[in-house]
Chain A
Amino acid sequence: MLFEVSDLSVEYSSLGEISRAVNGVSLSVASGEVVGIVGESGSGKSTLALALLGLTRRNARITAGSVRLEGTDLVGGGLSEKQLRQFRGRRIGLITQNARSSLNPTIRIGKQIATVYATHTGAKRADARAAAIAALRLVGINDPERRFEAYPHELSGGMAQRAVIAMATVCRPDVVIADEATSRLDVTIQAQILDDLQRAVQEVGSSLVLITQDLGVIANYADRLYVMNAGEVIETAATSLLFAAPGHPASVSLLESQLDLSELQFRLRGLPVDGRELPEGCWLQTRCPFMDEGSGCRTVHPELSDIGGGHEVRCHRTTVVVGRAAELAR
């Protein structure tokens, strides 16, 4: 497997309290594959995205697990900071959410992209410029020579997002991670950007990890999906399989929210689970419409188990959920 994450955990600590944001996440991405990671906001997606590069925010740390790119572990592999930097941007590209604030407001976008290229390849100025212009062209920016000179505030949201994609792909990485790459754009632009992203990624031969809270966005692009909740993977399957027969209440809830129904019957109640006080048993027990004490929802934390065809679900009540979800589909 090209990119393999196993048992990855990240904790935030603030004012002496520990919050578990990512809990034992395992996932794999094959060469050329497009993998989606879906989850409601607050489910640890952005923390995971950073951790996939061996990075955390200031008050967080990776407590366990490994992130292997072609066998090299970026987390527990004892790589120096300098060695790690040769992976970031060079072999794994990250597209962060909210493009405009991901670009330095004081530097022309072309130069920002060229700097990433020059940092990793040691290219001369003119070569770095050419690479940056090629990267801008690849993501569908017209007249890239002129856009090269633009400052971030001179670009529209969609243009800025494309520039960020160009920055993440300029070194032709093995894996591109797109964290909510389109969530702040309107729907038509979203689709254009995702098409441009997909084309750019295919062109440079990268795998793609699409992280989003919007299942509708991801459906056309991802080969396989991982659904996250409370910082853990609660369901994974091929995209078509998961759409056809979701097995976890949280997945059903996400799918249902796409349907534009007047009444949501599978909606998870209340706020995301607080990572500081994860309960015994299932972490969704207080929010879940399928919660059943007799099934052990309050006492036993469910494991991810295969329900057929590589479709794995972390729920005590999967059979009931699948049945009810099928009703909904009719």
Chain B
Amino acid sequence: MALAEPLPSGEEQQSPVTAEREVILGYPTLRSHIMHKVRRETLPKIGLLIVFATIFLAIFGPLLAPYNTTAATNLVNAAPSAAHWFGTDGSGLDIFSRVIAAPRIDVSIALLATALALVVGSAIGLFATFYGGWLGALAIRATDTLQAFPALILAIIVVVLTGHGIGNIIVVIAVLNMPLYARLMRGEVLRIRDRAFVEAARASGLSDLAIAWRQVLPNATAPVVAQMSVTIGWAILATAGLSFLGAGVLPPTPEWGSMISTGSSGIILGQWWPSVFPGLAMALTVFGFAVVADTIQTALGREG
């Protein structure tokens, strides 16, 4: 007799209980996670509202402004009134019109800079890590080095050296944020590249490029998306900060930072409105983006 009988084949043992039953595991997608938080909690609602309002103003703000944003009225340094809700500044410009027109500059710069940082930084992180080698190591070290400098000071120096201009500001802010995205992406790639499905893709003959693009990247986007919202807020602050210091967008273009700056000289005379309203608008916007970033991050299971 044989030492061990082969098991009976499958047909005889088919039981009704084990007939393929689809098991839907509790595995909510990131999007449903975020939507759940937004529905249930107040703060994410406020954050989203602010973000949408800001984007709305970036598109339509200048059209909605009741006064010409760069042409002076006869009233100089007028306090808030029914005609001029936020008052007028030292040149006689209507502050309300300028505050709601400013997102077009501030938010455009922030969005473009963030997009640039995200695309280039992620690409560096993805390919430098996935392909490895000395070139990859060099790219990662270079981005590390960039991170060692205090960002805003570096930005001021570069903008002062290369000249004002929105293009320069965008590039500078983007370059300063690239290392973050490169690092985030690197971490994700290191996490993913030895996963079984990457091995399986390799075994099915997919090229390295196809694996990086189709297998690794789609699994690496979540923390990058969360970071995006943080970067947008930071970029708005940086743009305003540069402009405040006279190294960014110059007056009379409506921009929060430069408005705060021009208004600041009047504060000791009791003329608070030229600085306070753009300051509040900016703070609110950054707060909105920060809340959204936080919502995404907690949905990802990474607190704060």
List residues of chain A with CB under 8 Å of any chain B CB. 50, 53, 55, 57-58, 82, 85-90, 93-94, 96-98, 101-107, 115-116, 119-120, 142, 153-159, 164, 167-168, 186-192, 194-195, 215-217, 219-220, 240, 243-246, 252, 255-256, 258-259, 325, 328-330
Q: Which residue of B lies closest to A185 (CB)?
A: B18
Query: Mostly helix, strand, loop or mixed at chain B's interface?
Result: loop
List residues of chain B with CB under 8 Å of any chain A CB. 1-4, 6-11, 13-15, 18, 20-25, 27, 194-197, 199-207, 210, 214-215, 218-219
C-alpha spacing A159/B200, complex, angstroms: 17
Structural contact, B10 and A120, CB atoms closer than 8 A: no
C-alpha spacing A98/B215, complex, angstroms: 17
Chain A residues contacting B202 (CB-CB under 8 Å) are 55, 88
Max chain A C-beta neighbours (<10 A), residue from B3, B207, B219 = B3
Chain A residues contacting B13 (CB-CB under 8 Å) are 187-188, 191
Which 8 A-B residue pairings sit nearest by Cβ, starting from the closest?
A191-B10, A219-B6, A89-B204, A89-B205, A88-B205, A94-B203, A106-B218, A101-B196
Chain B residues contacting A258 (CB-CB under 8 Å) are 4
C-alpha spacing A55/B204, complex, angstroms: 11
Chain A residues contacting B204 (CB-CB under 8 Å) are 88-89, 93-94, 116, 119, 167-168
C-alpha spacing A243/B13, complex, angstroms: 23
Max chain A C-beta neighbours (<10 A), residue from B4, B14, B24, B201 = B4
C-alpha spacing A155/B275, complex, angstroms: 58
Chain A residues contacting B27 (CB-CB under 8 Å) are 153
Contact of B203 among A96, A217, A259 (CB under 8 A): A96
Chain A residues contacting B15 (CB-CB under 8 Å) are 188
Structural contact, B3 and A325, CB atoms closer than 8 A: yes
CB distance from B31 to the nearest CB of A (A): 12
CB distance from A238 to the nearest CB of B (A): 13
Contact of A96 among B24, B200, B206 (CB under 8 A): B200
A85-B207, A153-B27 known; A243 vs B218 contact (CB < 8 Å): no
Contact of A104 among B10, B197, B203 (CB under 8 A): B197
Question: Can you add 5 more A-B contacts, CB < 8 Å, to A157-B23, A186-B18, A217-B7?
Answer: A50-B203, A85-B207, A215-B4, A216-B4, A328-B3
C-alpha spacing A166/B199, complex, angstroms: 17
